[in-house]
Structure formats: C-alpha cells, structure tokens
Structure 1
C-alpha cells in the first residue's frame, strides 16, 4: 500500500512540475510577443521654412477668411493643414483640412467660423497660425509653420 501511495505522490508531483513549466513557457512567450508589438516605427518629420515653399498667409479685409498660398509646390504631392486662432473673448478656435495639389501654385481660402446653411463668422480674430504637413515626391514628410503678421 505504501508503494501505491508513493507512486501517486510522484505522479502528482510530476504533473504539478509540468504545469508550472508549461505556465512559465506560456508567460515568457506572451511577454516576447507584446514587446515586439509595442515597438511602433515612428515617422520622422523634418522641417521646412515657410520661405522654402513660398508660404504666405493673408487675412481678408472683412476678417472672415484667411488665404493660404504656396508659391513653390512643384515637388509637393500633398498638404494637410491645421489653422489655429483666438476669437472674441480669447476663445481658441481652428480649422483642419487638406489641399489638392495641382501644379506649382496652391491657394486655399479658409473660413474663420462655421458654415452649414448659413455662415457664422468668428469676430476679433487674433493669433492666427498655421501648421502644414507637406509630403514631397520623394515620400519624405515635412512640417512647415507660419503665423499671420497683423
């Protein structure tokens, strides 16, 4: 009887050891897979000056629009923009969008306010700034910043 009892203890111990080893292997493999998925390749964004692409900003006389103009767009494939400004009461506002690139000259009129059926324009606009994400024909991405001089 002692022999059977010792055999059961040995089998139980062997099963327990196998479960512990299996669990350890599983945990180590799952940690390795999460480490490899956490390393996301970062996109390197270079900078250009506004002068390099001929970027200018101008406010409409009525203060309802800002016009963004790029005079040197021949090697640019796409432009995304983020315009930020403060409206009356120092309320931060902005607009985002993309610009269709056709040819060497780009011009985009950006409304300072909201429009659906009727436009509601922001008043007493100050601190107008634009940030462009410019993708060139070589695939490199650049950031360009410009503030409206008032």
Structure 2
C-alpha cells in the first residue's frame, strides 16, 4: 500500500495561520497606539507567505527554517522587484528595510514612532498581496507533494 503524502507540519500550521490570524486587520487596529508592533505583524504575514512559497518551489527539501533564501534573484521577489522596486527595497532591500528593522522590534520590543514606519504599511500590503496572489492553494501543494513523493519512490526502486 502506498504511503500517503503529507505536507510538512509547518506548512499546515502556516496555512492555518493565514486563515485565522487576519494580520492586516490586526495591524490596522493597533497602528495608532503600537506602530512598531503593527508593522511587525505585517512582517509576520510576509514571512509566512515567503516560507510557504519557498516550500512549494522546493517541496522535497527541508522546511525553510532560515530566511537565507531572501534575495532579489529568487523568482517571487524578483517578480515583486520588477513590478515595484520601491516596495522591494522598503521591505527587503536595504539596511533600513522592514526585514532588518523587524529584528530590532522582535528582539528588543523597541517602540518605533509612527512617522518612522508609516512608509512600510503601503509597501508591506503590496508585497502581501503579490505573494498571496502567487501562492498556490493548499490542494495544489498536496498534488505537487504526491507527485514529488511518487518520483522519489520510483527512483528508489530502480
């Protein structure tokens, strides 16, 4: 009997987070009083989408625990950069990007003033929309995983 293909546990958890967390709604709600936490929530949404996209493209590799794959040559980000270079740079591309600032927020809880992070909101929403629109459905992940597992099993039998 063939072994049933399953997605990585993290992939299932991340799909559930996307359904339940409503990151943008929560970020909008707290932006006035906690702007740094609001943009951090937007980053969390981006990170979930990035990891799911990476997993889909390399479904037989281990779950992408590290974000070392983030660069302008990775197809989803190359596409974003091609459409809106300002959004790419604001979120990923500089020492003042949201990707870099999120460390400060996450590890120190530093309060960052609204005027220092407001520019991230529009760009983060753009990136989230692009990554969401390109993210395959969970069922597509399962189909790809089954095919990949079948190919792997067939190679192992030869």
TM-score category (smaller protein): under 0.3
TM-score normalised by L of structure 1:
0.27
Higher relative contact order (CA 8 A, sep 6+): 2
Structure holding more strand per residue: 1
Q: Which has the larger radius of gyration?
A: 1
TM-score normalised by L of structure 2:
0.26
